[in-house]
Amino acid sequence: LHALCDALLGAAALGDIGRHFPDSDPAYRGISSRELLCRVVERVRARGFNISNIDATIVAEAPKLAPHVDNMCKKIASACGLEINAVNVKATTQEKVGPEGREEAISAQVIVLLESQE
């Protein structure tokens, strides 16, 4: 969800998640990622944009995410006020290469499409 927050903020030219919710601020200690996403969506809309589409790729050898993708899409759509058909999440591996492939890390890339409210 943090990668999604960054993608939304970046597409709206609003900086990044650390600028809006610094980890040095005790107010954000323990805050849920879903709550951060909801706040980001509010800021993006206040900037004059609607979210048209979200496409996320999660790179991980383990755990296997395919059984959870549909639920992830539903939760993201709900948090963003979107229809389920506007959200796509896919999981892939690095075929045992790199930190993700060695199960040392999980990464995510997210592309969003915003439309002006005008």
CATH of domain 2-116: 3.30.1330.50
Contact between residue 62 and residue 101 where contact means Cβ atoms under 8 Å apart:
no
3-state secondary structure 33-74: HHHHHHHHHHHHHHCCEEEEEEEEEEECCCCCCHHHHHHHHH
- What distance lies between CA 48 and its chain's CA centroid? 19
State the distance between the two ends of the chain, measured CA to CA, in whole angstroms: 27
Q: What is the pLDDT of residues 55-94, one digit of tens each?
A: 999 999 998 999 999 999 999 999 999 999 999 999 998 8
* Domain assignments of the chain as residue spans, ordered by start: 2-116
Q: What is the mean pLDDT of residues 91-110?
A: 89
Q: What integer pLDDT is reported at residue 98 of this predicted model?
A: 86
Q: What is the mean pLDDT of residues 5-28?
A: 97
pLDDT-derived band of residue 97, with 50, 70 and 90 as boundaries?
confident
* pTM confidence score: 0.92
Which residues, 6+ apart, have CB-to-CB distance to 24 below 8 Å?
A: none
pLDDT of residue 1 exceeding 90, the answer is yes
Give percent above pLDDT 70 in the chain: 100
